[in-house]
Structure 1
Amino acid sequence: MRAALLAGCTVFAAAAAQGQEPLKIGEINSYKAQPAFLEPYRKGMELAVEEINAAGGVDGRKIELVIRDDNANPGDAVRQAEELLSREKVQMLVGGFLSNTGLALSDFAKQKKIAYLAGEPLTDRLTWQGGNRYTFRLRPGTYTQAAMLVPDAAKLNKKRWAVVYPNYEYGQSAAAAFKTLLKAAQPDVEFVAEQATPLGKVDAGSVVQAVADAQPDAIVNMLFGADLSKFVREGNTRGLFKDRAVVSILTGEPEYLDPLKGEAPNGWIVTGYPYASIDTPAHKAFLNAYETKFKDYPRLGSLVGYTMIKSAAAGLAKAKSTDSEKLVDAFEGLEVDMPLGKISFRPQDHQSTMGAFVGQTRNVDGKGEMVDYRYLSGADPKFQPPTAQIEKSRAAQ
């Protein structure tokens, strides 16, 4: 009897000790390659972890982030993921910035049957053509962001368009989506120039000259980071944007708009994040908490990192388990409160309903701002293909 009682106490003690162990989340990203977005993103994650743990964690277990750098290389991303699983024993994977590394992590998650929440990779292949049971995404993808911009682009009634994009998975996906959707909205449109540039190595002079030579009425741009800065600087110098409409994905994000300073363009139609003027209680609370902790203002990366970790914690809490299958089931239809309002993860494609702001750029006293903006919800069906089409694309995998 005593032996049985002791055995029972031993099991209880082990279970209690297990209950105190942290929930380990493995995060992989291109920190050295993309610091403009990912340094604020890391701070956003840090704030979310601090808030979750201060509130008691998930069912009494603290969240612990184990972070790795993938050197912007899909092979390195997979090697880091393998190490996080085998050595660190993480309960799930999160992260990814570049679309090609995101796809590599998604395929790894499928093979290893481990839940993966992608915060940032934007290619549509992540949730549609290449989507799988174990992969979920937070930010709206390239099709959705293009669909949000196209109505304003069509209103310009410009016939001849030039397309500029980084020549890798994200840029190719964004360019294809925009061209398809604009052609559907304005059948007489022509794409008279297409400049696909090496990521991080844009030859801005030759790109600007090639676009100018095509004499387009309007330009759609998908460049970001240092490539965007070089393109804008060279375009301003050569007068490319004078009396010419520009539509640009991502340019309204502070991490890309702010470095332009006095060269920030006027009147570009963009997606972005007007953090300073979002007048909702939830966002004000996030803004105040972030500024108090870091003595800095948030970028979109901050919001993405913060919401991604809050979503991971919500999924773990709903699952009440670290079993991957139960965690995946919990994420399907999961609702999360974020600084921009409530979002959910759609069961049909594992895409969250997080939306995007669409507005225009304005140069005010040597600083770029996003003005005349509106928030468009990712839950709106007009910003994604029909459900049957999505299901067909996923079933083909």
Structure 2
Amino acid sequence: MGEKAISRRGALVGGGVAAAALVGLRPARAQGAPVRIGELNSYSRMAAFSVPYRNAMQLAADTINRAGGVMGGRPLEFIFRDDGATPGDAVRVAEDLLTRENVAFIAGTFLSNVGLAVADFANQRKRLFFATEPLSDAITMAQGNRYTWRLRPNTYMQTRMLTEAARGQTARRWGIVAPNYEYGQSAAANFKRLITQSIPGAQIVVEQYPALGRVDAGATVGALSQARPDAIFNVLFGPDLTAFVREGNTRGLFERRLVLSLLSGEPEYMIPLGDECPEGWIVTGYPWEQVDAPAHRAYVEAYRARFNETPRMGSLLGYVTVEVLANLLNKANSLDSEALVEALRDLRSDTVTGPVTMRGLDHQGTMGTWVGETVLRGRTGAMRNVRYVDGAEVMFPEAEVRAARPNA
């Protein structure tokens, strides 16, 4: 679609309570006892993503409360806590939210290993955990449980989006670079499985797994260059991505090489690259300025007016999270964990990205994302040739889900 705005299918008639309120519903402010939801995330360590995420959650909650709240007039209230970016700290915070703060349920987390720990805790306590950002497949597959649901497209879904976008390419020799923890390992495993379906004969000739947040960019780029791959699959993000791109540009690693890169089109990771943003990478991301659906435009205008900045992927995820949770509470009309879990099963919500369904089979949401190519516009990176991929089109096959979750 290039420079043209993207009209997200379904968003023209959707948008949920929050989006409707943004464009002019008469206020009917919620008056009852608040519904308290505990939200834990890596606000200190992953601030570039999680702070815009928290901002948008508060924006959405305030908008819903002005329109009358949930469950017949109760305001939404989020209790935000830092999860310490470690499994042990996160479990302690989750326990504190449930016992001291008396929240109805918990939501959030960023890192996949942290999300898995909180999912196990939620299962033990038999309390709902609505995982928003952690992308490991295990959360809804091998280690899935009754009480854990996930909104964002997982590593399998986003990797499949990229490998299908590479269909027709001729690159056969591939290098992989990914952070050495659950998310990176999961993405790499999915890539090995999926790339041959799009490029028959593709083979992995080099793999690099630097520690999260401690990438030795010189050594990583050197190892990749020495193997002389035709193409690279990158899973690094945040400061690791910035260091990797800078060193790769300096040493010519990306010249005449196809690169598929998870998350690299998201503003929180693209903006720090500045004019070092490489061109022509095929990425998943969020080209907010090209999404032209009315509900999305209203959300962007409200976000910019309140926070004086453009939205990030974290912003979008935070806003959609609240839309889905508000819909859940209205459907369940109860804070009982079992009632909430049952109400989530195949729950369909209208959001600023269009319809999202929480698939009952594996507790995975159908929220999608955008796929396109990186391009440098002035001194800033952007995306071109963009299309939205509905998560429902790239989910795990049902037979695999049943094998991984025999009791689902």
TM-score when normalising by structure 1: 0.93
Match of 1:52 among 35, 60, 64: 64
Alignment of 1:1-397 (within 5 A): 20-58=32-70, 59-380=72-393, 383-395=394-406
- After TM superposition, give the deviation of residue 187 of structure 1 in Å: 3.4
1:299 alignment partner AA: R
Distance (Å, rounded) in 2 between the aligned partners of 1:393 and 1:274: 34
1:81 alignment partner AA: A
Distance (Å, rounded) in 2 between the aligned partners of 1:161 and 1:154: 14
Deviation digits for residues 31-82 of structure 1 (CA, Å, limit 9, x no counterpart): 1100110111111111111111111111211111111111100110000010
Tell whether the 8 Å contact from 1:129 to 1:396 is kept in structure 2 after alignment: no
SS of equivalent residue, structure 2 residue 207: strand
Query: What residue in structure 2 maps to residue 5 of structure 1?
Result: none
Aligned residue-pair number: 377
2:397 alignment partner AA: P
Deviation digits for residues 3-52 of structure 1 (CA, Å, limit 9, x no counterpart): xxxxxxxxxxxxxxxx9221000000111100110111111111111111
Distance (Å, rounded) in 2 between the aligned partners of 1:265 and 1:221: 13
Distance (Å, rounded) in 1 between the aligned partners of 2:357 and 2:86: 30
Query: What residue in structure 1 maps to residue 25 of structure 2?
Result: none
Query: What residue in structure 2 maps to residue 9 of structure 1?
Result: none
Distance (Å, rounded) in 1 between the aligned partners of 2:368 and 2:32: 36
Distance (Å, rounded) in 2 between the aligned partners of 1:388 and 1:159: 30
- After TM superposition, give the deviation of residue 396 of structure 1 in Å: 6.8
Distance (Å, rounded) in 2 between the aligned partners of 1:47 and 1:337: 17
Distance (Å, rounded) in 2 between the aligned partners of 1:335 and 1:190: 40
Q: Which runs of 5+ in 2 are unaligned?
A: 1-30
2:239 alignment partner AA: A
Distance (Å, rounded) in 2 between the aligned partners of 1:111 and 1:155: 47
Distance (Å, rounded) in 2 between the aligned partners of 1:53 and 1:108: 30
1:158 alignment partner AA: A
Distance (Å, rounded) in 1 between the aligned partners of 2:48 and 2:54: 11
Distance (Å, rounded) in 2 between the aligned partners of 1:110 and 1:30: 21
Q: Which structure is higher in RCO with an 8 Å CA cutoff and minimum separation 6?
A: 2
Distance (Å, rounded) in 2 between the aligned partners of 1:114 and 1:396: 18
- After TM superposition, give the deviation of residue 393 of structure 1 in Å: 0.2
Tell whether the 8 Å contact from 2:282 to 2:371 is kept in structure 1 after alignment: yes
SS of equivalent residue, structure 1 residue 197: coil
1:107 alignment partner AA: D
- After TM superposition, give the deviation of residue 320 of structure 1 in Å: 0.6
Deviation digits for residues 156-175 of structure 1 (CA, Å, limit 9, x no counterpart): 21010000000001000111
Distance (Å, rounded) in 2 between the aligned partners of 1:201 and 1:166: 9
Tell whether the 8 Å contact from 2:373 to 2:383 is kept in structure 1 after alignment: yes
Aligned CA-pair RMSD: 1.1
Question: Aligned pair in 2 of structure 1 residues 110, 70: CA closer, same or farther (>3 Å)?
Answer: same
- After TM superposition, give the deviation of residue 155 of structure 1 in Å: 2.1
The structure with more radius of gyration: 1
Distance (Å, rounded) in 1 between the aligned partners of 2:194 and 2:280: 22
Deviation digits for residues 134-153 of structure 1 (CA, Å, limit 9, x no counterpart): 11111000000011111222
SS of equivalent residue, structure 1 residue 32: coil
TM-score when normalising by structure 2: 0.91
Distance (Å, rounded) in 2 between the aligned partners of 1:339 and 1:384: 21
Distance (Å, rounded) in 2 between the aligned partners of 1:68 and 1:43: 13
Runs of 4+ in structure 1 off by over 3 angstroms are: none
Distance (Å, rounded) in 2 between the aligned partners of 1:289 and 1:129: 39
Deviation digits for residues 349-393 of structure 1 (CA, Å, limit 9, x no counterpart): 11111011000000111110011010010112xx12321210220
Tell whether the 8 Å contact from 2:169 to 2:199 is kept in structure 1 after alignment: no
Distance (Å, rounded) in 2 between the aligned partners of 1:308 and 1:104: 20
Tell whether the 8 Å contact from 1:192 to 1:216 is kept in structure 2 after alignment: yes
- After TM superposition, give the deviation of residue 190 of structure 1 in Å: 1.2
